[in-house]
Structure formats: C-alpha cells, structure tokens
Amino acid sequence: MPVCGFGPDWRKSNNKYDKNQVSIDVFEQLICQDGNVLNYEVIGSIKINAMLSGMSSLKIGFNDRYIIKDSLKKYLINNEQEYNTEEIKDIKLHKSIRLPKFVKENTLVFVPPDGEFELMSYRIEAITKPLISVECIITPDFQLNNNNNNNNNNNNNVQYIIRVKSLFKYNLFAKNVIIIISLPKDTDTIKFSVRKTKSAKGKCKYVVEQNAIIWEILEFPGNKEFVTKAHFELASSNMDDCYILCNKSSSIKLQFEFQQTISGIQVRYLRMSEHGATDDQSVQSSIRYLTKSGDYQIRTSYN
C-alpha cells in the first residue's frame, strides 16, 4: 500500500484549493425479500467528495459499527419488539485506506483521490420490524352496490382500505413517502376518498397511465397512522371473479427516505494532515446520513 510520501497513483501532488473541503455521505438502502416476513438487508456505502490541496491525508473515526441493536432501539417505538442483528459483512474498501488502522482502531486513514469516490461499501443482515408498515384489505363495496340503479345484479364494486403506519418514534420523520397501489387490468372506473388525521400531509391520486393509485406524503411523522379508502369498479360482474382478479393483480410498492442510518453507523470525527506537517490542518467538512427503502412489494389480501 503506497503512503503519501511515495505519491499514490490515485492522486496528483499539485492539487491546489483556496479552502480544504470534504463532504461525507453515509447512504444505506433497505432490501426486503418478502413483503410479509420483512427479511431486511442493509446495503450501505460511504462516499467522499474531497477538494484538498497538496498530498493531504484524512482520518475518519466511527462509533462501534457492531452495536446495531442499540441503535435500532432509539428508532423503534416498542423496544421490546423482537429482532435480530448481524455484524457488518462484505466490506469493500477503497485502495487508499490503510488496513491496519481500520482493523485495530476502527478508523479510516487514507490519502483521498481528488473529487468524488466511494470510500467503503458494506452489507448487514438483519431481521427487524419495518420503519413503515402498509396494509391493504380488499372488501366488497356494498354501499356502491346498493346505490347502483342501472343494474341491481351488478356486484363488481370493490373497496381498497389502505393503512400506512410509521413505527419509529414521534420526534423523527420519514420523507418523500410514496405508496403505489396497482389496480387490476380491467378496472373500468374509479373514485376514492381519503381519511386522515388533522396533522397529515399528502396527496392521493389515480394515475391512468400506470393504472395505479399513488399516495404521496412528503413528511411522515413518527408513531402515526393514515388511512385511504379507494372505491373502484371492475369489468367482471361476478364478485368471486373480482376477488380473484384483485388478489392476483394488485400489489403495493413502498418508497421512503429516512434522515438517519438504520445500522447506527456514525462519523465521530474527521481530521486532516498534510505530509510533512506536524499539526492537524484546517478543513471544512459536512456529513449527511440517509436511508432509503428498496422497491419492495406487498401483496394485497381480501375478505
């Protein structure tokens, strides 16, 4: 592993900036294999954007990356919920990192390339409760059936009841929550109404091109539940056929962002020194944490 005195091949020695600046993005994505069991994997990466003069070296210190269970407790409402956690796996490090420091001291010491690059990627296996849960129930819409004056034998009106609940604490927020509810291919007409709490924000609409209801909530507070009821009519006149069709053709996709890392990984400090200098040099730094959901699907059920 080259050190800064030997001129690493990933960095020029004559870089010059008016100010030394480093931004750190810790990004994680939740991957769900089953919408019912919710077996999560956390895929994470740490990205750096470095604008540093000369042959500068950076040192980044982290909290204990294996204390994942305690970090989950501060997000979940019920600390007694059952969950299991595993250590970080499949760690991939940029070639600039000095491995002995990482193994012994839980720190990353490296001479960074100039500009943007991925410093580290990792995977965590975890079985836990979701940050946001979605439930969709399909039932006959008797009110529409009884009010249908054109055909009293027409039993093809169906109602979706969609409940979405945040399972993290009230002082936290999820952002850009998008719930996409697909509809059967032979849906004829649709009308829907939204029931929600006074503090709720969101827009629910039917998108013809996607044949889906899309519910968008820009900011979702913790420990809240919102409900949407969607009424629609299918081409089939047999209610059993409607149930089967809905169950086979309907699914829910959930997307959201969370301004934390679900793994609990945090940057404790960032220090910079230039080759030949005795003291830490000045650097302007910024750190951002973000967790995004993967595009996992949840199957609907019917009564």
Cβ distance 111 to 11 under 8 Å? yes
Same fold yes or no, 4-129+262-296 and 132-256: yes
Q: Which of helix, strand or coil describes residue 64?
A: coil
- Alpha carbons 119 and 25: distance in angstroms, whole number: 10
Between CA 287 and CA 29, with CA 259 as vertex, the angle to 5 degrees is 95
User: Among 226, 229, 225, 216, which residue's Cα sits nearest to residue 161?
Assistant: 229
> What is the CB-side half-sphere exposure of residue 78 using CA atoms within 13 A?
9
Prediction pTM value:
0.74
User: Which fold is adopted by the domain 4-129+262-296?
Assistant: Immunoglobulin-like (2.60.40)
- The secondary element (H helix, E strand) that includes residue 237 is none
Per-residue model confidence (pLDDT) at position 176: 94
Between CA 39 and CA 85, with CA 218 as vertex, the angle to 5 degrees is 20
Would you give the DSSP letter of residue 199? T
Per-residue model confidence (pLDDT) at position 192: 61
- Alpha carbons 142 and 157: distance in angstroms, whole number: 8
User: Among 249, 36, 43, which residue's Cα sits nearest to residue 133?
Assistant: 36
User: Which fold is adopted by the domain 132-256?
Assistant: Immunoglobulin-like (2.60.40)
* pLDDT digits (tens), the chain, 303 positions: 444 445 677 888 778 888 999 999 999 988 765 544 455 788 999 999 999 988 888 999 887 654 444 444 555 555 544 444 456 778 888 999 988 777 777 789 999 999 999 999 988 876 566 788 888 887 776 555 555 555 544 556 777 788 889 988 888 899 999 999 887 776 665 566 665 545 456 888 888 888 888 999 999 999 998 888 877 776 666 666 666 656 655 678 889 999 888 887 889 899 988 764 444 568 899 999 999 987 666 666 555
DSSP H stretches of helix in 24-138: 69-73, 99-105
Which structure tokens are listed for 192?
């829907």
Per-residue model confidence (pLDDT) at position 173: 92
The domains of the chain are located at: 4-129+262-296, 132-256
Cβ distance 137 to 301 under 8 Å? yes
The contacts of residue 217 (CB under 8 Å, 6+ apart) are 164, 177, 178, 179, 200, 201, 202, 226
Which structure tokens are listed for 57?
């070296």
